[in-house]
Chain A
Amino acid sequence: MIRRIGLLLLAIALLLAAAVVWLNSRGEDPIPDGAAPSQGTPDQVARGRYLATAGNCMGCHTVPGGDAYAGGRAIDTPFGAVFSSNLTPDPDTGIGTWSADHLWRALHHGRSRDGRMLYPAFPYPNYTHVTREDSDAIYAYLRTLAPVRRANTAHTVGFPYNTRPALAVWRALFFSPGGSLADPSQSADWNRGAYLVQGLGHCNACHSARNLLGGTTGVLDLSGGLIPMQNWYAPSLGSPDEAGVGDWEVAEIVALLRDGVSPRATVIGPMAEVVQNSTQHLAAADLQAMATYLKALPQRSTRPPLPASAASAASAPAAMRLNTRGRELYELHCAQCHGVEGQGVPGAYPALAKNRAVTMEPPANLVRAVLLGGYAPATAGNPRPYGMPPFATVLDENDVAAVLTYVRTHFGNEGTAVTALEVHRYRTHD
């Protein structure tokens, strides 16, 4: 009997393994014999440079202050650090021996030159939707970079996540090679926007929640998520209470992506980097297309119902004391720029009154903004942004909780209180 159960389990395991292997190789054509490095046309190179910017390849594949595209930047994940690779055409340490077919397979199927599966920190679940034509253009551009000799850094992903079977299972669960996502019932602008947002833009890599295995529910999901390890919250693009833009003018969305500021919002944190490295350089028509697509995303409120005890809690002595402290701190540190009534200064300091970024759940970005301060990105449209000082050296966790609770429950804001424990949680890596 035990032997029979054993055989049955073995058979199930073999079937599952076969399924994983099949799921990993579906739709994948072998690299043709004799696939060799090649040069592209000047048009391809120019187009490829632009597309690499749209994908912000350089953002990960360059160490701050280091050689462009030579890799080595750590992408911290809950499973360990993945280090970006050298994309310059150095034959020994870069992709000098890759053909256009190899780059296509990397983008489309997530495999390295030797067929090894790549960690999905490289967002190939998005890049799999990039067209062959665009892949070839990016390849042509990368071939023109000056070769940099920099050996790739070994990843520090821990066991068992660093094994091939683990990656294969992950891919079987969360990755399927894509094709065109075009929707003929939508406008050309919408389709172009969808292509950029879902593919090269890899917006959902941050703007959706990841499960325990680091998987997302797909490139269409932009419902917001806490960015692993960074503790910034990438808000939902499908919620009017977070970063949904359904009721914005297209021009306002374009301004935010191009300049980093718009009459409706300012970008900070990781999105400031995206604007700085990528979206500010995009053509007006592409920004218009992305804005059209984002504006058309279905919008659904994510506002949590206020707890029934909120009204009575607000009048409790402890809450009163917290609010008194919060108000003192606000008037001492915040009011000078954000205004006594949280009205802000248009174009310089965001209003806190009726600002959805203030009342949003979770309050991660608020905590990080207060602790770290920060500038909006300096862009051609906003070359001299105003900034906020860091308060990490001035306010302790109780103080940050008090002042944030004050801000979230005054000036007409109807947010919830912030606890010192939450401040502690979101300050990690500050």
Chain B
Amino acid sequence: MSLRSLLTRAALGALLAAPALAAPPPFEDSIAQRVQACTGCHGDQGRAGPDGFYPRLAGKPAGYLHHQLLNFRDGRRHYPLMTHLVAPLTDAYLLEMATYFSQLDVPYPPPAGQPPADVVARGESLVYRGDPMRDVPACVSCHGERLTGVAPAIPGLLGLPRDYLNAQFGAWRTGKRKAHGPDCMLEVAKRLDLTDINAVSSWLASRPVPVPAKADTSLPRPLPMPCGGVPQEAAK
């Protein structure tokens, strides 16, 4: 018998003889238990890291998360794994899930890496001042001065991977991602060119998530453009 096969046998034997893994956390009848299907991709407690593709869920406004779940279920957003998961679920249950994630307040790991200086400058300019020449509003005019979103329906933009942000802009431009009309982000995405989109995504992805990361409760001024996803009274 060769040394190699002996080693293989020894390794196999060790594996087979290994004691059972530590007991898993006890089952509990809770919403946290029920959303374990989400945390497989979105990370423990919905806190996806900046290295992956999947967006964080924790702390985002409940209305925004609920809308996205409904959008996946009802064909306004397209990601087959999401659609399959939420297809058999009701509005009420999806709201309970959205509310659960919105109430989590968890620390986020710092973002990795800094984009080049010119990208940072252009991105920061678009985020805080927009591009009046092309009628592009500043991100902060809707998503809050701290970019943590505005309850109940406008999401925060920090703590999201650059690839995820770019993918969303792409999906709006190709009609793959839709919201209730008038679809304000569709308009914004069409007015930006690809260099600008990359600058905004890169800048946003390079910023740390503030502590606490809770969404603001009201807009500083009325929305610069009509937005079907935002309830009338919250748009003022």
Kindly state whether residue B221 has any CB partner on chain A within 8 Å: no
- Give the distance in Å from the alpha carbon of A386 to the alpha carbon of B85 in the complex: 11
Interface string of A319-339 (1 = CB under 8 A from B): 011001001100100011100
- Given A324-B12, A387-B85, A390-B84: A373 in contact with B37 (beta carbons within 8 A): yes
Q: Which residues of B contact A63 (CB under 8 A)?
A: 75
Kindly state whether residue B74 has any CB partner on chain A within 8 Å: yes
- Given A324-B16, A348-B33: A373 in contact with B93 (beta carbons within 8 A): no
Interface string of B18-62 (1 = CB under 8 A from A): 001100110101010111111111000000000000000000000
Residues of B165-205 contacting chain A, CB below 8 A? none
Kindly state whether residue A363 has any CB partner on chain B within 8 Å: no
Q: Which residues of A contact B106 (CB under 8 A)?
A: none
- Give the distance in Å from the alpha carbon of A376 to the alpha carbon of B93 in the complex: 12
Kindly state whether residue B73 has any CB partner on chain A within 8 Å: yes
Whole-angstrom distance between the Cβ of B206 and the nearest chain A Cβ = 25
Kindly state whether residue A425 has any CB partner on chain B within 8 Å: no
Kindly state whether residue A388 has any CB partner on chain B within 8 Å: yes
Q: Which residues of A contact B76 (CB under 8 A)?
A: 65
Whole-angstrom distance between the Cβ of A368 and the nearest chain B Cβ = 9
Q: Which residues of A contact B33 (CB under 8 A)?
A: 348, 386
Kindly state whether residue A375 has any CB partner on chain B within 8 Å: yes
Kindly state whether residue A64 has any CB partner on chain B within 8 Å: yes
Q: Is the CB of A273 within 8 A of B87?
A: yes
Q: Is the CB of B41 within 8 A of A393?
A: yes
Interface string of A410-430 (1 = CB under 8 A from B): 000000000000000000001
Whole-angstrom distance between the Cβ of B64 and the nearest chain A Cβ = 18
Kindly state whether residue A215 has any CB partner on chain B within 8 Å: no
Residues of B86-104 contacting chain A, CB below 8 A? 86-90, 92-93, 96
Q: Is the CB of A378 within 8 A of B89?
A: yes
Q: Is the CB of A373 within 8 A of B74?
A: no
Instruction: Give which listed residue, A65, A273, A349, contacts B75 with CB less than 8 A.
Output: A65
- Give the distance in Å from the alpha carbon of A337 to the alpha carbon of B37 in the complex: 11
Q: Which residues of A contact B37 (CB under 8 A)?
A: 373-375, 387-390
Kindly state whether residue A170 has any CB partner on chain B within 8 Å: no
7 residue pairs, one from A and one from B, having the closest CB atoms: A65-B74, A389-B40, A387-B37, A377-B88, A64-B75, A336-B24, A65-B75
Q: List 6 A-B contacts (CB under 8 A).
A: A331-B21, A336-B24, A372-B80, A378-B90, A378-B93, A386-B36
B residues with a Cβ closer than 8 A to A are 12, 15-16, 20-21, 24-25, 27, 29, 31, 33-41, 73-76, 80-81, 84-90, 92-93, 96
